[in-house]
Amino acid sequence: MVVRVGVNGYGTIGKRVAHAIQLQDDMDLVGIVKRTPDYAALQAYKAGIPIYAPGEEEAKAFEERGIPVKGLLDDLLDSIDVVVDATPGGVGAKYKPIYEKHGLKQVYQGGEKPGVAEVSFSTLCNYEEALGKNSVRVVSCNTTGLLRLICTLDKAFGVSSVRAVIVRRAADPKEVKRGPVNAIVLNPPRLPSHHGEDVKTVLPRLDIVTAAVVVPTTLMHVHAVTLRLRQPVTSSDVVEALEKAPRIMVVNAEATGIKSTAELMEAAREIRRRSDIPELVVFEDSITARGSEVMLFQAVHQESIVVPENIDAIRAVSLLASSAEETISLTDASLGIGQPLW
Ligand code: NAD
């Protein structure tokens, strides 16, 4: 069975998810919805991706720039089974009634409030909960990173509590209007940050508290995480569990010389499309076990970490794969996830 998919919003996440859909044998990218006839629209057009405009006015602007549109949003929604909403946070909720009117399965992003969908989703934690649902929300990049770690260690040893400090990138590389330029911003000043609560939308019973700061970089987020496990472990036990897990890349800083997000991205630029690193990167050297307490540093490439989860979410709502293992093997093989960076 091939599921027909449309992507509404063609920015950082939308363009990556659209490309990933094109790489799946069980999905057909019917089109994308784009508001502005800019360079990204031209690239999509030249790549043969059918473009739809949100309304008549936008369609006219596209035609004036010489970029043909295939139709309007409603036309796209009439010809698909699943819509991936990748519009800015909060905009997806406004589209929800329109998607429902067209009887579509819906996949939303982490910028939406949890109530937008029946399930908040992270493949390694709760794939089965999303099977056959009408609407799923793929949690944010930071939450996806935390959940991959937590659910992997929970399966191996049991996790009883998590404390994390999140060092957030200020903006995506393409965003010229955001900052900070020269500050470390408390995000927010009052603790905890919202990230722990977002993790709980997937793992409601977990004891987790997070704090966050925003720093002047566009490359990646970094987390300092402390987990209390349900049994004593050694750091080698933790390394072994993480190395066996899908979508986690264990990097040895001493051996590779990679001690920063800048060096990680530089390595990815050599061999990855768009220099994407959809894997969660855990720094092996930082993994420190004391009894049942484990501390480590991990890095999250915000632009790409949620892309495989979006593909899995499409499979879950469409019943294309009945287990997390099945969708992970299809998604990861098609996207080259797990291939070494060097
Ligand atoms: P973005 O601003 O890069 O892209 C959004 C796109 O939607 C833009 O192309 C914009 O023109 C378009 N758009 C705006 N209003 C629209 C409308 N009414 N109809 C159709 N298109 C419209 O945003 P993004 O970073 O891709 O974020 C999208 C979602 O993904 C948000 O919920 C965000 O929180 C989430 N997310 C972002 C990141 C990240 O780091 N960028 C990571 C994980 C999740």
CATH of the domain at 271: 3.30.360.10
In order of 142, 183, 197, 221, 302, the CA distances from 280 in angstroms are 10, 26, 20, 11, 10
Q: Are the C-beta atoms of 340 and 271 separated by less than 8 Å?
A: no
Nearest CA to ligand 1 atom 32: 111
What's the 302 CA to ligand 1 centre distance in angstroms?
12
156 and 121, same domain (yes or no): no
CB of 246 within 6 A of ligand 1: the answer is: no
CB of 88 within 6 A of ligand 1: the answer is: yes
- Identify whether 341 is part of a domain: no
Residue 341, classed as helix, strand or coil, is coil
Q: Are the C-beta atoms of 278 and 124 separated by less than 8 Å?
A: no
174 and 271, same domain (yes or no): yes
Hunting for tokens 């220099």 — which residue is that? 275
222 and 86, same domain (yes or no): no
Nearest atom in ligand 1 to 36's CA = 11
> Which pLDDT value is given to residue 340?
92
Distance between CA atoms of residues 209 and 19, nearest Å: 35
CB of 93 within 6 A of ligand 1: the answer is: no
Number of domains in the chain: 2
Structure tokens at 223: 């987390």
> Which pLDDT value is given to residue 177?
92
- Identify whether 170 is part of a domain: yes
Pocket test for ligand 1, best of 7, 12, 217 (most atoms within 8 A of CB): 12
Q: Which domain holds residue 265?
A: 141-300
In order of 22, 73, 95, 323, the CA distances from 34 in angstroms are 17, 9, 14, 33
107 and 186, same domain (yes or no): no
265 and 318, same domain (yes or no): no
- Identify whether 342 is part of a domain: no
51 and 159, same domain (yes or no): no
188 and 261, same domain (yes or no): yes
CB of 33 within 6 A of ligand 1: the answer is: yes
CB of 196 within 6 A of ligand 1: the answer is: no
**How does strand 221-229 pair with strand 248-251?**
unpaired
Residue 275, classed as helix, strand or coil, is helix
> Which pLDDT value is given to residue 165?
98
Q: Which of 160, 108, 165 is nearest to 139 (CA)?
A: 108
Nearest atom in ligand 1 to 92's CA = 32
128 and 174, same domain (yes or no): no
159 and 131, same domain (yes or no): no
What's the 129 CA to ligand 1 centre distance in angstroms?
25
**How does strand 27-33 pair with strand 71-72?**
unpaired
Distance between CA atoms of residues 195 and 140, nearest Å: 9
- Identify whether 267 is part of a domain: yes
What's the 205 CA to ligand 1 centre distance in angstroms?
30
125 is annotated as an active-site residue: no
Question: One digit per residue, pLDDT tens: the chain, 342 residues?
Answer: 999 999 999 999 999 999 999 999 999 999 999 999 999 999 999 999 999 999 999 999 999 999 999 999 999 999 999 999 999 999 999 999 999 999 999 999 999 999 999 999 999 999 999 999 999 999 999 999 999 999 999 999 999 999 999 999 999 999 999 999 999 999 999 999 999 999 999 999 999 999 999 999 999 999 999 999 999 999 999 999 999 999 999 999 999 999 999 999 999 999 999 999 999 999 999 999 999 999 999 999 999 999 999 999 999 999 999 999 999 999 999 999 999 999
CB of 278 within 6 A of ligand 1: the answer is: no
CB of 220 within 6 A of ligand 1: the answer is: no
312 and 296, same domain (yes or no): no
Structure tokens at 86: 């990748």
Q: Are the C-beta atoms of 178 and 171 separated by less than 8 Å?
A: yes
**Helix residue spans in the chain (DSSP H):** 12-22, 39-46, 56-64, 73-78, 91-101, 123-126, 141-157, 194-200, 235-244, 253-256, 261-271, 307-318, 324-335
Distance between CA atoms of residues 171 and 180, nearest Å: 8
192 and 274, same domain (yes or no): yes
What's the 12 CA to ligand 1 centre distance in angstroms?
7
What's the 6 CA to ligand 1 centre distance in angstroms?
15
In order of 75, 159, 164, 242, 269, the CA distances from 248 in angstroms are 39, 18, 18, 6, 19
CB of 11 within 6 A of ligand 1: the answer is: yes
Q: Are the C-beta atoms of 81 and 88 separated by less than 8 Å?
A: no
pTM of the model: 0.98
159 and 249, same domain (yes or no): yes
CB of 142 within 6 A of ligand 1: the answer is: no
Tell me the one-letter amino acid at 15.
Answer: K
- Identify whether 340 is part of a domain: no
Distance between CA atoms of residues 40 and 81, nearest Å: 25
Return the bridge partners of 167, or none: 213, 222
Distance between CA atoms of residues 61 and 106, nearest Å: 28
What's the 234 CA to ligand 1 centre distance in angstroms?
41
Which of 27, 141, 321, 330 is an active site residue? 141
Q: Are the C-beta atoms of 10 and 18 separated by less than 8 Å?
A: yes
Distance between CA atoms of residues 155 and 288, nearest Å: 19
Structure tokens at 63: 């035609």
- Identify whether 216 is part of a domain: yes
Structure tokens at 83: 């819509």
- Identify whether 53 is part of a domain: yes
Read off the CATH number of the domain in which 134 is found.
3.40.50.720
- Identify whether 96 is part of a domain: yes
Nearest atom in ligand 1 to 141's CA = 43
What's the 32 CA to ligand 1 centre distance in angstroms?
13
For 338, what's the count of Cα atoms within 13 Å in the CB-facing half-sphere? Answer: 14
